[in-house]
Amino acid sequence: MKFAFAAVALLGLCGTAQAATATRGAFGQLADGSKVEAVTLTNSAGMSAKIMTLGATLQSLVVPDRSGKKEDVVLGYDTAQEYLSRPNYFGASVGRYANRIAKGKFSLDGKSFTLATNDGPNHLHGGPKGFDKRMWKIDSISSGPDAKAVLSYVSADGEEGYPGELKVTATYSLNDQNELKLEYRATTSKPTVLNLTNHSYFNLSGNDARDVMGNMVTLDAARFTPVDATLIPTGERRAVAGTPFDFRTPHRVGDRIRDAKDQQIRFGRGYDHNFIVDGAAGSLRHAARVEEPGSGRVLDVSVTAPGIQFYTGNFMDGTFFGKGQRAYRQGDAICLEPGVFPDSPNHKDFPTSRLNPGQTYVNTIVYKFGTH
Ligand code: BGC
C-alpha cells in the first residue's frame, strides 16, 4: 500500500517534469494507398504543432492569442493528398535545394549537373519531386521539457539530378516557453550542394481571419540580394537603406509592397527576396519578428543560416483552397525561409552550399511565439 502510494507520488513528480508531450497517430492516406502519419507536440502553455511524415511538413500550429484563444497560424490543407497534388510547399521541409538554381545547372569540381527546370527557366525547391513530396520516417518521439519528433529521409545518389546519397533528419521540438525549434541535419556520400529549410506560411491572425498586409515586420538585415526578372540573384548585395526593403525597424507589410518605382518590388510582385541576416552565420541569432495587431500574436524567428527568404505569398491567386475550403490569395501569409542564398552553387562569393563527405550540415531555426 505504502509502496503503491510512493510510486504514484513519483509518477506525479515525473508528470510535472514532463511538461510537453509527443503523440503519434495516423494522418490519412494518399491516393496510391500509402499511409501518412503525424506527430503532435503539445506544451502546457496552449501551443501544439502537428508534423506529418509526408514532406516532414508542419501541418498545423496552434498558438494562443492575447486572450488565450487557440487558433491555427499556418496555411495548409486538411488532407495529405492535397499536399501532393498542389505545389505550394505549405509547411514543408524543402530540399535538396530550397529556392532557385539558375537554369537548373551547376558544377562541382569541374563536373556539370543538370536539374529539372520546374519554375520557368529555373530549378525550384529541389525539383518536381523534392523532399516536400517524399515520405519521411519517424525515427523517434519523446516527451519531456522539450517534446520532440525526429524524422528522417534518405535521398538516393542522383535523385532529382543531385550527386551523393544524402541522409537527412528534421528534428522538431516544442518547449513550455512557446519555442518551436527545428533542426535540419544532413550527411552525404559525395560532394554535393544543399539548402534545407521549412516553408511555413504564417498567418498570425489565426485561421486566416485577415490578410498579412497589416502585420508589422522587422528583419535584422542591412542588405538583401536583388534578383533578375526570373528571381535569380544578380550577385549584388544591396543596402536596404532608403528602399522598401528596409525592415530594420518595424513596418507594415502593406506600406511599401505596391511601390512599383522599385524594380525589385516589380520583379518579386511584392516581397520574394533573400535578406542577408546581420551577424555571424553559424551562430543562432534573431532574424525576424512578425506582430499581428488584431490577435496580439508575435513571432520571433532566430536562425543559424546566412539568409532568410521573405515571401508574401505573391503567387497565391485564389484558385486553390486550403483548410476548411478557404481560398488562398496573394498576401494571405508570410514565409520566412532561413537558408543559404538562392542560386549559391553558381555564385562563388555567396556563402557556400557545398557539403563534403565527413561533414555534417546543420540548419537551426527557432520560432518563438508570444503576445503583446
Ligand atoms: C519562393 C517563391 C515561390 C514560393 C512557392 C518561395 O520560396 O521564393 O518565389 O513562389 O516559394 O513555391
Model confidence pLDDT, tens digit, residues 96-118: 999 999 999 999 999 999 999 99
C-alpha cell at 300: 520571433
Higher pLDDT, 19 or 113: 113
Distance CA 274, CA 64 (A): 30
Q: How confident is the model at residue 17 (pLDDT cuts 50, 70, 90)?
A: low
Q: Whole-prediction pTM value?
A: 0.95
Mind telling me the catalytic residues? 199, 337
Strand-pair partners of 99: none
Q: How confident is the model at residue 13 (pLDDT cuts 50, 70, 90)?
A: very low
Amino acid at the residue 272: D
Residue 1, pLDDT > 60, answer no
User: CA Rg, the chain, in Å?
Assistant: 21
Distance CA 288, CA 108 (A): 33
Q: What number is the average pLDDT over the span 191-204?
A: 98
Which residue has its alpha carbon closest to ligand 1 atom 9?
A: 272
CA distances from residue 67 to 212, 352, 372 in whole angstroms, order as listed: 20, 44, 10
Contacts of 280 (CB under 8 A, 6+ apart): none
C-alpha cell at 40: 503532435
| Ligand 1 atom nearest residue 98's Cα | 7
292-337 tens-digit pLDDT: 999 999 999 999 999 999 999 999 999 989 999 999 999 999 999 9
C-alpha cell at 172: 522538431
Q: How confident is the model at residue 87 (pLDDT cuts 50, 70, 90)?
A: confident
CB atoms within 10 A of CB 356: 12
151-174 tens-digit pLDDT: 999 999 999 999 999 999 999 999
Contacts of 58 (CB under 8 A, 6+ apart): 49, 50, 51, 74, 91, 172, 182, 198, 200
According to the model, what pLDDT value does residue 331 have?
97
Looking at residue 221, what DSSP letter applies? -
CA distances from residue 95 to 234, 319, 345 in whole angstroms, order as listed: 22, 25, 14
- Using DSSP, state whether 149 is helix, strand or coil: strand
Residue 356, pLDDT > 80, answer yes
Q: For ligand 1, pick from 86, 94, 99 the residue to mutate: most ligand atoms within 8 Å of CB.
A: 99
According to the model, what pLDDT value does residue 86 have?
84
Which residue has its alpha carbon closest to ligand 1 atom 3?
A: 315
Q: What number is the average pLDDT over the span 127-143?
A: 98
Strand-pair partners of 11: none
Residue from 221, 287, 290 nearest 252 by CA: 290
Which residue has its alpha carbon closest to ligand 1 atom 8?
A: 272
CA distances from residue 138 to 13, 187, 350 in whole angstroms, order as listed: 29, 18, 34
- Using DSSP, state whether 255 is helix, strand or coil: helix
Q: What number is the average pLDDT over the span 228-249?
A: 98
Å from CA of 271 to ligand 1 middle? 10
Pocket, ligand 1, Cβ cutoff 6 A: 89, 99, 125, 231, 272, 309, 311, 315, 337
- Using DSSP, state whether 346 is helix, strand or coil: helix
Å from CA of 311 to ligand 1 middle? 7
Which residue has its alpha carbon closest to ligand 1 atom 12?
A: 88
Percent of the chain scoring above 70 in pLDDT: 95
Å from CA of 167 to ligand 1 middle? 25
C-alpha cell at 264: 525589385
